[in-house]
Chains A and B, each alone.
Chain A
Amino acid sequence: MTDYNFAYLDEQTKRMIRRAILKGLAIPGYQVPFASREMPMPYGWGTGGVQVSAAVLTPDDTFKVIDQGADDTTNAVSIRRFFEKTAGVAVTEATVDASVIQTRHRIPEQDLRSDQILVYQVPIPEPLRFLEPSEVETRKMHSLEEYGLMHVKLYEDISQHGAIATAYAYPVKVEGRYVMDPSPIPKFDNPKLNMAGIQLFGAGREQRIYAVPPYTDVVSLDFDDYPFEASKADHACDLCGAEDSYLDELIVDDAGGRMFMCSDTDYCAGRRKAGCIGAQGVPYQEDVA
């Protein structure tokens, strides 16, 4: 006997979350309310994503957790260990080997397959929240497809900055119906929301679950004269030389020297293993244990 339930949550809670996931998949982009449970970690640690993972995982899964693209942050390591212990899953850092990936703020660079599931940790699920604080009102706006305010906000960006300044959590329209917050991923990742994998979004504090099935039409909101652009730093990765990946910028010394590197650490390592070297990179060597 173990001291905890499989995947931590009790069966009735998992059933409730599972039903919400199915409704989310049936109504892509619509935020399904659910009764969030206390998890043995603070809200900022992605308790919504953790609850969705708990409802989805089986002991046959191989689980990966990324935090801003990295597998080795405290947050990612804790969540990975949590499910290793409570659900008996295998764990991996390799995107291609994972059957379920929980993520905070990134979509892996490697295209996902139809047998992979991506679980997002979501802080604020309501894309209209910063325009309208009332839940009653935003629910009404979604029901009436009243998304004019969102376009006004984006257009104000253009008139003030000459471009849409929103760089993260850039709103999308799902299957021509619901406007959805893709969680605070960089807008560089938005085109990847059209994928073969199953995407599930969990917001713990706000008690919402939503979903995007595979091959679902996800469009970033834009204007004919200001089309959406999936921008990134105009640079190549200094470690692996990738020009197609999302980059983090690091100040590396007191003289203000900087370095760009792939935010997706597995992608970068994979390229370096394959022999790719960036401007400040060195040939890849396996970590000495």
Chain B
Amino acid sequence: MQTTTLMGGFVNAPLDSARAFRQIMTAVAQPGIINDAVGATPPAPLSVAAGVVLLTLCDPDTPVFLTAEFDTDDVRAWITFHTGAPLVDAAKASFAVGSWGDLPITDFAIGTSEYPDRSATLIVEVASLNPEGAELRGPGIKGKATLSLPETAAFQQNTALFPLGLDFVFTCQNRLAALPRTTKVNAIKVS
């Protein structure tokens, strides 16, 4: 086991995860807002924010899928050591980490009509995260919000599945934003 595996977890897990959860929860409750996520130093290529989300929400009860880019020995070992989450195929995953184009989004669980909560949450690593781009409307948003999204069509299709669907957390360095399945996304036409 390499030393990087043992390092990079929360220094004070109960307090760090409580604070991190507040940042994640308020992001999910208010799609479009961008929150800080700090306290973890995971191995590359995982961002700090993705590491924070994994440490806060994952454990042996939540299978995790990694795209090839993130499926490295260091990342696997770090997730296994700090969370105990099993690493699995997309279809069995509760959480997934990957860059947008690499995530096999049609393979993940979207819940069932009686249990729409039995669905995956995708942690999408993005190169930039800004409050500009696609227009967001729906629960948690007063009027409308804007957020840089990797595309819009896939999120529109996901929203159409409601109450089924996937939920997304976008992570970029030490910041995150969220897009639950309720958010209606529209591309802003650039004139």
Contacts and interface: CB of A to CB of B under 8 A. Distances in A.
Contacts of A22: 24-25, 28, 57, 121, 167
Interface string B1-28: 0000000000001110111011011101
Contacts of B138: 175
B114 A57 contact: no
A172 B163 CA distance: 17
Given A6-B18, A28-B182, A19 B167 contact: no
A143 B113 contact: yes
B29 A25 contact: yes
Nearest to A176: B162
A139 B181 CA distance: 20
A233 interface: no
Contacts of A142: 114
B189 interface: no
A216 B142 CA distance: 9
A19 B62 contact: yes
A11 B17 contact: yes
B142 A215 contact: yes
A177 B17 CA distance: 32
Contact of B29 (A7, A58, A144, A198): A198
A196 interface: yes
Interface residues of B, number: 38
B28 A60 contact: no
Interface residues of A, number: 46
Contacts of A175: 138-139, 182
B107 interface: no
Given A21-B25, A22-B121, A59-B15, A140 B114 contact: yes
A55 B26 contact: no
Nearest to B138: A175
Contacts of B115: 33
Nearest to A175: B139
B22 A58 contact: yes
A211 B113 CA distance: 18
B171 interface: no
Interface in B13-51: 13-15, 17-19, 21-22, 24-26, 28-30
Contacts of B13: 11
A211 B167 CA distance: 15
Given A15-B57, A18-B21, A19-B62, A215 B140 contact: yes
A178 interface: yes
Q: Which has the most chain A C-beta neighbours within 10 Å: B19, B30, B141?
A: B30
Contacts of B121: 22
Interface string A54-76: 01111110000000000000000
A18 B56 contact: yes
A26 interface: yes
Nearest to A22: B28
B73 interface: no
A15 B95 CA distance: 13
Q: Which has the most chain B C-beta neighbours within 10 Å: A16, A139, A213, A214?
A: A213
Interface string B102-118: 00000000000111110
A66 B10 CA distance: 34
Contacts of B113: 143-144
Contact of A25 (B56, B62, B140, B163): B140
B163 A216 contact: no
Nearest to A212: B139
Contact of B59 (A7, A15, A21, A196): A15
A15 B113 CA distance: 24
Interface in B126-148: 138-142
Contacts of B63: none
A140 B114 CA distance: 6
15 contacts: A15-B56, A15-B58, A19-B57, A22-B167, A25-B28, A25-B180, A27-B163, A57-B18, A58-B22, A142-B114, A175-B138, A212-B139, A213-B29, A215-B141, A217-B139
